[in-house]
Amino acid sequence: MNGSPTLTIDSLPFSQPGRFYRGNLHGHSTNSDGLWTPAEYIRQYRQNGYDFVAITDHCMEHYGYTITDTREFRYDDFTTLIGAELHPWQIESGSPWHLLAVGLPLDFEILRAGDTGASVARRAMAAGAFLAATHPNWYAFTVTDFETLDAADAVECYNGAADAASDRGYSWHFIDMLLHRGHRVGAIAVDDVHASGDYSDFMRGWVHVKADTLTPEALLRALKAGHYYSSTGPQLHHVELLGREKVVVECSPAEQILLSGERAGALRISGWGLRGAEFDLSDVESRWLRVTVRDEAGQRAWTNPVWLG
């Protein structure tokens, strides 16, 4: 199974045309189990500097299998992607699947007789959606579960609700295991906002998508091409491979910049107020690489894992 074969060094977003747009790809309104109405959801993100969101309500029987229509909330300076969280049958643990599908048509057929995670994922991607496996660490989603899928674009590397509610928000270990097995998947950070309970799941994780215009079509093309990076705080200004000999990173002020690959550990530079780093690749043996930037508050930004061949 090969999720995003375009995730090579050449698909890093930083040299792509356009500009970066900040967005949340996963969250819930009163159309499922969220506290905010769709209008309030949009207002909260728009007034806090986001450029786009997807409201991805749970498509389950007791919510009426609803795909939330957010087209009325598209403006010149803010737009929306149509999405849903899909729950066909069960994963290995017995829990229902949690598949994030962003860019779905509103008439997408949620459930067919005999559906499995793989069949729903296949139909969603055939309909043009950006498909991600959600919060693996939160609900014991396994590599075996993932490998039943024919394809997927990404896995959530960070989920704000899972972090706030159960300290199970980070899932890079799971993505690394998939990479070791040859699966070319991207990594997204999300809020999974519900705006309810005694914890905050708002503005915890997001993506910066490089697109030529702020339109749903351009954002979806960029997501499918891997032209984005994820963050819980810092900004990545530029990441580039020079002659397959070094990686150059430019970023907002950081305490640590790391380059990770298949081997244990990582190349790293540490200090105060770091604005960038250069990593020599002469002794690096890996099929793939990814960059992590960590700031003084412990927040992080990540590139997608990119393949060198």
Domains and CATH numbers, the chain: 9-231 (3.20.20.140), 236-307 (2.60.40)
Q: Residue 4: is its pLDDT beyond 70?
A: no
- What tokens appear for 97 in the block? 């699947």
The pLDDT tens digits of the residues spanning 247-306 come to 999 999 999 999 999 999 999 999 999 999 999 999 999 999 999 999 999 999 999 999
Q: Residue 85: is its pLDDT beyond 90?
A: yes
The pLDDT tens digits of the residues spanning 172-229 come to 999 999 999 999 999 999 999 999 877 799 999 999 999 999 999 999 999 999 999 9
Over residues 94-113, mean pLDDT: 96
- What tokens appear for 15 in the block? 């040299």
The pLDDT tens digits of the residues spanning 189-199 come to 999 999 987 77
3-class SS of residue 235: coil
The pLDDT tens digits of the residues spanning 232-246 come to 999 999 999 998 899
Over residues 98-105, mean pLDDT: 98
Residues 6+ apart with CB under 8 A from 193: 24, 26, 27, 28, 34, 36, 41, 160, 161, 201, 202
What is the distance between the alpha carbons of residues 99 and 53, in angstroms, rounded to a whole number?
Answer: 17
- ∠ CA 172-226-22, nearest 5°, is 85
Q: Is the dihedral of CA 209, 212, 213, 218 positive or negative?
A: negative
Stated pTM of the model: 0.97
Q: Residue 45: is its pLDDT beyond 90?
A: yes
With residue 161 as reference, give the H or E element that holds it: helix 160-166
97: left (phi > 0), else alpha (psi -120 to 50), else beta?
beta
Q: Is the dihedral of CA 104, 106, 107, 113 positive or negative?
A: positive
Q: Residue 83: is its pLDDT beyond 60?
A: yes
Q: Residue 2: is its pLDDT beyond 60?
A: no
Over residues 10-39, mean pLDDT: 96
135: left (phi > 0), else alpha (psi -120 to 50), else beta?
left
Q: Residue 5: is its pLDDT beyond 70?
A: no
For residue 289, count CB atoms less than 10 angstroms from its CB and return exposed for 0-12, middle for 13-18, buried for 19 or more. buried
Give percent of the chain with pLDDT exceeding 90: 93
The closest alpha carbon to 1, from 172, 186, 181, 131, belongs to 181
Distances (CA, A) of 187 to 85, 154, 171, 220, 230: 17, 5, 9, 15, 7
Distances (CA, A) of 243 to 22, 247, 248, 249: 30, 9, 11, 15
Q: Residue 7: is its pLDDT beyond 60?
A: yes
Q: Which residue reads 């396994």 in tokens? A: 142
Residues 249 and 293: beta-carbon distance below 8 Å: yes
The pLDDT tens digits of the residues spanning 119-156 come to 999 999 999 999 999 999 999 999 999 999 998 999 99
Q: How high is the pLDDT of residue 199? A: 79
How many secondary structure helices (H) and strands (E) does the chain include? 6, 16
Q: Residue 1: is its pLDDT beyond 80?
A: no
Q: How high is the pLDDT of residue 6? A: 66
